[in-house]
């Protein structure tokens, strides 16, 4: 079965039984709205990341800055911090922005407050928090 078949089956069951799913308090829906607002306002997506939640969006790498395959840069940082550079789309996936995290050579122009990045490396799953406590 394809995803569309499952979706059709789910929607058909909702119509047949009169179930009306609520999307307003849905965690995924709220996260999507947060990402959309951050993109519209020109924020780095690192601002909407946390130690256990990475936004789902297109991420890029900057070949001018010699970023590796493990580095992820959000759309707004590509547009502002890496303007005029040679960049490439990596894929649509969950990630945190290494530019905003401060793990790249260049300083992120979209971050106002520097963060302690002792535990943040190349978009790898974090093993500790910014306060130094283990997860």
Considering its fold, how many domains does the chain have in total?
1
Counting beta carbons within 10 angstroms of the beta carbon of residue 132, is it exposed (0 to 12), middle (13 to 18) or buried (19 or more)? exposed
Q: How far apart are CA 73 and CA 104, in angstroms?
A: 10
Pairwise CA distance, residues 43 & 74, whole Å:
10
Residues whose CB falls within 8 Å of the CB of residue 104, separated by 6 or more in sequence, listed in order: 62, 65, 67, 71, 73, 98
In a domain, 46, yes or no: yes
Residue 35 inside a domain? The answer is yes
Percent of the chain with pLDDT strictly greater than 70:
57
- How many angstroms separate the CA atoms of 11 and 42, rounded? 35
Is residue 37 in a domain? yes
Domain-embedded: residue 11: no
In a domain, 81, yes or no: yes
Q: What number is the average pLDDT over the span 103-121?
A: 66
Q: Which of 24-33, 35-44, 115-124 has the lowest mean pLDDT?
A: 115-124
Q: Is residue 135 part of a domain?
A: no
Range of the domain at 85: 27-130
Q: pTM for this structure?
A: 0.59
Instruction: Give 30-89 pLDDT, tens digit per residue.
Output: 555 778 888 888 889 888 887 667 878 888 999 999 888 788 899 999 999 999 999 999
């Amino acid at each position: 079965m394809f995803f569309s078949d499952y979706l059709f089956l789910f929607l058909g069951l909702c119509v047949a039984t009169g179930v009306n799913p609520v999307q307003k308090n849905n965690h995924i829906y709220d996260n999507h709205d947060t990402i959309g607002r951050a993109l519209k306002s020109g924020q780095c997506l690192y601002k909407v990341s946390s130690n256990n939640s990475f936004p789902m969006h297109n991420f890029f790498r900057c070949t001018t800055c010699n970023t590796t395959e493990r580095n992820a840069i959000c759309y707004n940082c590509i547009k502002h911090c890496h303007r005029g550079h040679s960049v490439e789309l990596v894929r649509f996936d969950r990630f945190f922005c290494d530019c905003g995290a401060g793990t790249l050579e260049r300083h992120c122009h979209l971050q106002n407050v520097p963060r302690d990045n002792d535990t943040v490396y190349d978009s790898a799953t974090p093993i500790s928090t910014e306060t130094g406590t283990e997860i």
